[in-house]
Amino acid sequence: MRGQAQRILEIFYSTPFIECHPLTREFASIPARSGIYAFRHQSEGILYIGKAVNIRQRLRGGHKALAWAFIDRLNPDDVRIVATVLTYQLWLQALEIEALMIQTVKPCYNIRIRQEE
């Protein structure tokens, strides 16, 4: 499990920022499949890690991480989304993989959102 979490984090960190998905209204370039995603700032790194049955629909439906970025006055051009689609077998372990990733990175918006709840 830890290996899978590390592999996904390596993908998230090694993907050039310019190749990450830009913020848009429709998120058309985001996979409409099950997976793990992250909001990534150009210089501050990963801001939030999450999982969704349909990543595109999750983002289209609104997201607290976007609200925090707005409140923090982050330039939308400096925030992008990186995502990886999971196989069915990995999706069954997504909750644990996501938790390991959050424990490793400690993204600032995951922490803020958990404190709010």
Measure the CA–CA gap between 105 and 59, rounded to whole angstroms: 21
Task: Kindly give, in sequence order, each residue whose CB lies less than 8 Å from that of residue 77, ignoring residues fewer than 6 positions away.
Answer: 22
Instruction: Pull the structure tokens for residue 39.
Output: 């909001």
Convert the pLDDT of each residue in 106-116 to its tens digit: 999 997 545 44
Q: Average pLDDT of 38-56?
A: 97
Alpha carbon 68 to its chain centroid, in Å, reads 14
More confident residue, 88 or 111: 88
Residue 103 φ/ψ region, left for φ over 0, alpha for ψ in the -120 to 50 degree band, beta for the rest: alpha
Identify whether the C-beta of residue 107 lies closer than 8 Å to the C-beta of residue 11. Answer: no
Q: What is the pTM of this model?
A: 0.91
Mean pLDDT of the chain: 92
> Residue 35's beta-bridge partner residues?
52, 85
The reported pLDDT for the residue numbered 92 is 94
Domains of the chain are: 2-116 (3.40.1440.10)
